[in-house]
Amino acid sequence: MKAVVIGSGVAGLAAATRLQHKGYEVTVFESNSYPGGKLTQIESNGFRFDAGPSLFTMPSLVDDVFIEVGEDPRAFYNYRTLDVVCHYFYPDSVTLKSYPDRDKFAREVKDKLNVNGQTVARFLKRSERIYNRAGQIFLNNSLHKAGTWLKKDVLLALTEIYRYDIFKSMHAANEAMLQHPKLVQLFDRFATYNGSNPYKAPGILNSIPHLEHNLGTYFPEGGMYTLTQALYQLALKKGVQFRFGKKVSEIVTKDKQVKAVKTGEELTPADLVVSNMDVYPTYNKLLPQLKTPKRINTQERSSSGLIFYWGIKGRFDQLGLHNIFFSEDYRNEFEHLFTKKQICDDPTIYINITSKLNPTDAPPDCENWFVMVNAPSNEGQDWEEIIHRTRQAVVSKLSKLLKRDIASLIVTEELLDPVKLEARTSSFKGSLYGTSSNSKFAAFLRHPNFSSRIKGLYFCGGSVHPGGGIPLCLLSAKIVSDLVPGGQ
């Protein structure tokens, strides 16, 4: 049987390999000239930048793709464990390091914030419990198949779900448990991992810190882009065919069954189609014969990102691989993102510097800065004005906190904004994670990994269940693979 995968993001690559292993003849159509979707790289004047996701957690989910098809993942890529998760900088010059060692992080919080270390330890133990219980429902299974709700572990999780703050906002839950405003802000930021607002998103999202602080964070040797290269090389080895520069214009159906995909005037027969494209344009552009489900049109989009890729002349010993410079007023920042659809004048700044661990990513005595601020989805704002204003604010803030004139150190610059993101990756309105999780029902409202109206049509990637980010995208590919019949 023949399967077509539309898009070669990490979910598309993983789904293609898994389907090939199940006996399908798989062809991947990618409109760009390269694989990876958001997980690509930029090279500029001797600097290399990971263009998209910069945080690597749960490497076992990447390894599972290789192991599933009988390959050793270490023959394709390797990684190291990080001793420090993130360097945090507050507006009043307080600094804090977070560690994957729960006790070590508790000591750091006690020393820097004068907060009882047991407060953090209890919070992280709770995060682990939420993940281990609620994750069984929301991450590893299709929420749209009756059999999911009859599984023993899912039934057990459901009996306890009321304990995990699903009816309380993430911020309210953090305030109750952590109390210290700096610590609350630190853990509120995990809402941004799926493009949401901690003042609205449910407290059950406090499962996310478990991935960093209990399970650990990692760095792929060579940078994040090596994950794309590894998954792409695996797919090629297993016989997956790739057609780059080929934009699918239609998924052809007949009698409520997938029949082919159309690229220009060319038809490619398909018994099965998996769309790794954002679900919104999948319906609106590729399925003209189908009415787009109403909830896709009405759900709030996730946040996006504004990223400056700066080649910096000089070194900053106080910075690590991951760095966060918090805003003074976090609530105001999210009010701007989701209500005003703007970037506030004092945004939280994230800096990723892979040359700290991979020195060849920058020339000698230089660093490659991936500088990101959260941005609203594209609603037709004046992005030229927003970018100019935000760049000035970022340079000013970093110069003040780092006590060096950052503007004079920038020797090369590239830019990614929501408009470019949408054009390059078909992410509707440039949103990074499809829809936001600013509702206690958000997980249930995400589009399923299959179509109930068209036989043979499936979906994977960050805009569908279970959500965005590398781990969840890989889980979506596995769910698809588990749903489809064998291809022999």
Q: Which two tokens stand for residue 216?
A: 């650990």
The Cα–Cα gap between 398 and 444 comes to 40
Give the per-residue pLDDT at 403: 97
DSSP 3-state assignment of 465? coil
Instruction: Report the half-sphere exposure of 305 (CA within 13 A, side-chain side).
Output: 26
Of the pLDDT bands very low, low, confident and very high (cuts 50, 70, 90), residue 142 is confident
The Cα–Cα gap between 26 and 434 comes to 26
DSSP string over 35-84: SBTT--EEEETTEEEE-S---B--HHHHHHHHHHTT--GGGT--EEE-S-
Cis peptide leading into residue 220 (ω within 30°): no
Residue 443 has pLDDT above 70, yes or no: no
Instruction: Give the tens place of pLDDT for each residue, 63-81.
Output: 999 999 999 999 999 999 9
Of the pLDDT bands very low, low, confident and very high (cuts 50, 70, 90), residue 294 is confident
Which pTM value belongs to this model? 0.94
Give the per-residue pLDDT at 136: 62
Residue 319 has pLDDT above 90, yes or no: yes
Domains, in order of start, for the chain: 2-38+58-71+223-300+437-483 (3.50.50.60), 119-213 (no CATH)
Classify each residue of 198-237 as buried b or exposed e, where b means 16 or more C-beta atoms within 10 Å of its C-beta. bbbbbbbbbbbbbbbbeebbbbbebbbbbbbbbbbbbbee
Instruction: Give the tens place of pLDDT for each residue, 46-66.
Output: 999 999 999 999 999 999 999
Chain CA centroid to CA 249, Å: 26
Averaged pLDDT, 319-329:
98
* pLDDT, averaged across the chain: 94
Of the pLDDT bands very low, low, confident and very high (cuts 50, 70, 90), residue 433 is very high
Averaged pLDDT, 245-252:
96
